[in-house]
Structure 1
Amino acid sequence: MDLATEELQFLTIPEILKESISIPKQSPKTFQLITVALIFPLSFAILAHSLFTHPLLDQIQDHPSSQNTHQWTLLLVFQFFYLIFLFAFSLLSTAAVVFTVASLYTSKPVSFSSTTSAIPQVFKRLFITFLWVCLLMLVYNSVFLLFLVILIVGIDIQNTLLVLFSLMVIGVLFLVVHVYITALWHLASVVSVLEPVYGLVAMKKSYELLKGKIRVAGVLVFGYLSICGLVSVVFATVVVHGGDKYGVFTRIVVGGFLVGALVIVNLVGLLVQSVFYYVCKSYHHQGIDKTALHEHLGGYLGEYVPLKSNIQMENLDA
């Protein structure tokens, strides 16, 4: 990012995307290795897990409940390990990309080995922040399920007013609340890596940084979720359920293309959330002490970090 810190606040959404896409050119080998080692397994797992769960679900539906205990056990075990794998590689990918982008921003030497060396300590901070996000999502999902039940009841008793009200609330919850929580989580993840805070404090900082940039964050997150959803729907339609309509070769080609597309989307998404952090900092007139940030990143690698104010931001107006 060659732009001055105070200029980042003026970046439009297309410019943020352009800036994000240009970052890997500064260290192609590092980002190639991150993509192959972390982002590709994550993207492949997101799409391919339905290939394994779909046959099990078919067996469960085709047999009486008294005879499918084994299938249910396999399904639950598979889902358990899938979620662990998903969350682990999601956090690992976030840690690797955010750390690498910050290193480039501070002109710190970048390599895949230095990034992987820093990941263990970064991962701990991200995981604690993720746990707080999980608590927030638990509340959100509880409210969402409540209004889903209300919707079902409204349909059952044929109460049009109740159905419309519940549909409106569910729409707001998904299109507004869910998108906002996702934006809050992504920005809090960056904060957890680049600032000496994590968990609830990182979420509070993320909340403050989003002020004034909520619309931009909403468009970016909604666009990301929409593209991921579209890729998943096409994969499920053609690859998972398209055995009768499409040949094996077509399904393999389409499946490979969609996995590749999701890899690109996830990489760009991680780069965007890193750049968006600097955009928010600039918008709130908070300078970034590159020297202190450089030392903070070095602390993850076991380098000596002088006793100073870490990366506390200086007001540009001072």
Structure 2
Amino acid sequence: MDIEQEEMQFLGVFDIFKEAYKIILTCRKIFSQITLTLIFPLSLLILIHIQVSDILFRNIIHNEFVLVDTQVGTTKYNSLSRHISSEWTYFWLFKALYFTFLLIFSLLSTSAVVYTVASVYTARDLSFKKVISVVPRVWKRLMVTFLWTFLAFFAYNLVAFIIMILVAVVLFEFSYNWGMGLLVVLGLLYGVGFVYLSLIWQLASVVSVLEDVRGIQAMNKSKALIKGKMWTSIFLFGILTVLSFVFQFTFQKLVVHGWSFGMFGRVAFGVVCLLVFVKLMLLGLVIQTILYFVCKSYHHENIDKSALSNHLEVYLLGEYVPIKAKDVQLEQFEV
């Protein structure tokens, strides 16, 4: 990165996109290798999941309708009922398998990209072989942070669900309109909280790689860093989320349900969607790392490049000894 650390705090949404694009172009070879090895399989996995889930679920729904029109107790009814039970089992097994591999490739991709961008920031010599050797060690730290984040999301959703059920039961007894209105307000508040937790999770992943904290400590650090750059984070998260949704929706319409285009047309659209989706995921991970440096700069936390470089070198040596926060962020610089 050519920008001085003191100036990074002034980067806006467009500037961060521009800086991410510049970094990817500068290290085109290594990012291409990371993409082919980790991000491409991750993107392909997501699109395959959309296709297969649609086929499995459509078959289940079709058989459910047939079952309704079949006489209860007959051989056909019992056979169809067992068949539907088996289909649901396959459906949920496929989901479990998908989320397992999604988690693995997501953490590996995040590890590789964050390490690479940080190496560019510290002007370290970089090769694909070094990145791949580091990824398994960084991945373990990210897993701890993910588990704590998962618990946070689980607790948040559980509490939100209980509150909405209680509000629905109590208020609908008195006024349906008031109950619906309050549920809408609670739904909006839930959405705000969900986005906030998502932002904390994304930045905590970077913190887990570049600092000596992980898990709930990384989440607390991420929460502190986001302050002051909340709107920038929200806009970045919103833009990337909308783009991701648009491409997945387009894939579903043109490929999954695009029977009118024929097999060749569906395959062609699928390849285009996959290539665009891969680029979007790479861009998102690079932006996520740059946002970390922007937030650090905003809070005037000076990152000593030499100490950070040593921190990254320890990963490479495979003998990780946690370095203290003061070694990474030596002091606050004056603006």
Question: Which bracket does the TM-score occupy, shorter chain normalised?
Answer: over 0.9
- Corresponding position of 1:97: 113
Per the TM alignment, residue 146 of structure 1 is displaced from its structure 2 partner at its CA by 4.1
Counterpart in 1 of 2:38?
Answer: 38
In structure 1, the gaps of 5 or more residues are none
Q: Relative to 1, partners in 2 of residues 1:16 and 1:61: Cα closer, same or farther, differing over 3 Å?
A: same
Query: Is it true that 1:180 corresponds to 2:181 in the alignment?
Result: no
1:73 to 79, 84, 89: 89
Provide the residue aligned with 2:181 in structure 1. Answer: 164
Shift in alpha-carbon separation, 1:304–1:90, aligned structure 2, 3 A: closer
Are 2:169 and 1:115 aligned? no
Q: Work out which of the residue numbers 272, 276, 284 in structure 2 matches 1:257.
A: 272
Contact (CA 8 Å) 1:147, 1:170: kept in 2 or not? no
- Bigger CA drift: 228-237 or 1-10? 228-237
| Partner residue, 2:5 | 5
RMSD: 2.4
Distance 2:330 2:94 in 1: 45
Is 2:315 aligned against 1:295? Answer: no
Question: Residue 201 and residue 142 in structure 1: after superposition, are their counterparts in 2 closer, same or farther (change >3 A)?
Answer: same
Name the counterpart of 2:242. Answer: 226
Which stretch has the larger CA shift, 51-60 or 139-148?
139-148
Q: CA deviation at 1:156?
A: 11
1:171 counterpart letter in structure 2: L
2:206 and 2:212 map into 1 onto residues whose CA distance is 11
Partner of 1:237: 253
In the alignment, residue 211 of structure 1 is paired with which amino acid?
K
Shift in Å at residue 312 of structure 1?
Answer: 3.1
Q: Structure 2 length normalisation: TM-score? A: 0.88
Q: Once the 2 structures are TM-superposed, how far is the Cα of residue 25 of structure 1 from its aligned partner?
A: 2.2
Q: Distance in 2 between matches of 1:205 and 1:110?
A: 28
Q: Which residue pairs with 1:16 in the alignment?
A: 16
Cα deviation, residue 41, structure 1? 1.0
Percent identity for Structure 1 against Structure 2:
39
Partner amino acid, structure 2, of 1:21: Y
TM-score for both structures, normalised by structure 1: 0.92
Corresponding residue of 2:101: 85
Q: What is the alpha-carbon distance in structure 2 between the residues aligned to residue 139 and residue 212 of structure 1?
A: 26
Separation in structure 2 between the aligned mates of residue 172 and residue 268 of structure 1, nearest angstrom: 29
Q: Quick check: which has more Rg, 1 or 2?
A: 2
Write the distance in 1 (CA, Å) between the matches of 2:316 and 2:9.
31
Letter in 1 for 2:267: I
SS at match of 2:317: coil
Q: Distance in 2 between matches of 1:155 and 1:205?
A: 41
Structure 1 segment 199-214 matched on structure 2, within 5 A: 199-214=215-230
How many Å separate the matches in 2 of 1:235 and 1:181? 28
The offset of 1:126, in angstroms, is: 0.4
Task: Note if 1:315 corresponds to 2:329.
Answer: no
1:217 Cα deviation after fit? 0.5
User: Is the Cα–Cα contact under 8 Å of residues 295 and 305 in structure 1 kept in the other structure?
Assistant: no
Q: Distance in 2 between matches of 1:270 and 1:296?
A: 20
Structure 2, unmatched stretches of 5+, are: 68-80
- CA distance in 2 between counterparts of 1:194 and 1:66 reads 52
Partner SS, residue 327 of structure 2: coil
Which residue type is aligned with residue 142 of structure 2?
A: L
Q: Name the aligned partner's letter for residue 297 of structure 2.
A: S
Alpha-carbon distance in 1 for matches of 2:167, 2:53: 28
